[in-house]
């Protein structure tokens, strides 16, 4: 028995409306499905899904603490473009673009619920 693909990632959300607005309006992800407590957006072969927290096994959200880090790959020149766009939208930048010794150019920021987002390029 082997796992072969990661089909989708689900972010558990306390405020689904603000998370949906962020990922759709700020990051520009197209919404494929939008149900009451579930929103799907496709990125390549993976669905990024937002789900309202509330199932008995979800546990409480951790205010002020990141629950996940998502990394979005772009071309090298797009890192700077994203940086300028995020500044224009007045998002808090955790780390501005910089080259890493492991061969990535990275940019870090957060979504409305504190998850860490990275835009990176192979260099």
- Total tally of structural domains belonging to the chain: 2
Task: Assess whether pLDDT exceeds 90 at residue 1.
Answer: no
Handedness of CA 119, 122, 74, 90 (dihedral sign): positive
Answer yes or no: is 112 within a domain.
Answer: yes
In this structure, the answer to whether residues 50 and 72 fall within a common structural domain is no
What is the rounded distance in angstroms from the CA atom of residue 117 to the CA atom of residue 110? 5
Answer yes or no: is 61 within a domain.
Answer: no
Residue pLDDT, tens place only, 15-53? 999 999 999 999 999 999 999 999 999 999 999 999 999
Q: What is the pLDDT of residue 80?
A: 97
Residue pLDDT, tens place only, 44-58? 999 999 999 999 999
The CATH number covering residue 51 comes to 3.10.180.10
**Hunting for tokens 């409306």 — which residue is that?**
17
Answer yes or no: is 60 within a domain.
Answer: no
Better pLDDT: 44 or 105: 105
What is the extent of the structural domain holding 90? 66-123
């Amino acid at each position: 028995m082997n796992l072969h693909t990661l089909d989708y990632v689900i972010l558990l959300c306390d405020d689904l409306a603000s998370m949906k607005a962020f990922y759709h309006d700020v990051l520009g992800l197209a919404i494929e499905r939008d149900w009451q407590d579930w929103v799907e957006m496709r990125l390549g072969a993976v669905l990024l899904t937002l789900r309202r927290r509330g199932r008995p096994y979800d546990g409480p959200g951790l205010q002020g603490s990141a629950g996940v880090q998502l990394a979005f790959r772009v071309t090298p020149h797009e890192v700077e473009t994203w940086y300028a766009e995020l500044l224009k939208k007045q998002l808090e930048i955790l780390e501005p673009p910089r080259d890493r010794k492991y061969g990535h150019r990275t940019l870090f920021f957060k979504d409305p619920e504190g998850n860490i987002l990275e835009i990176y390029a192979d260099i």
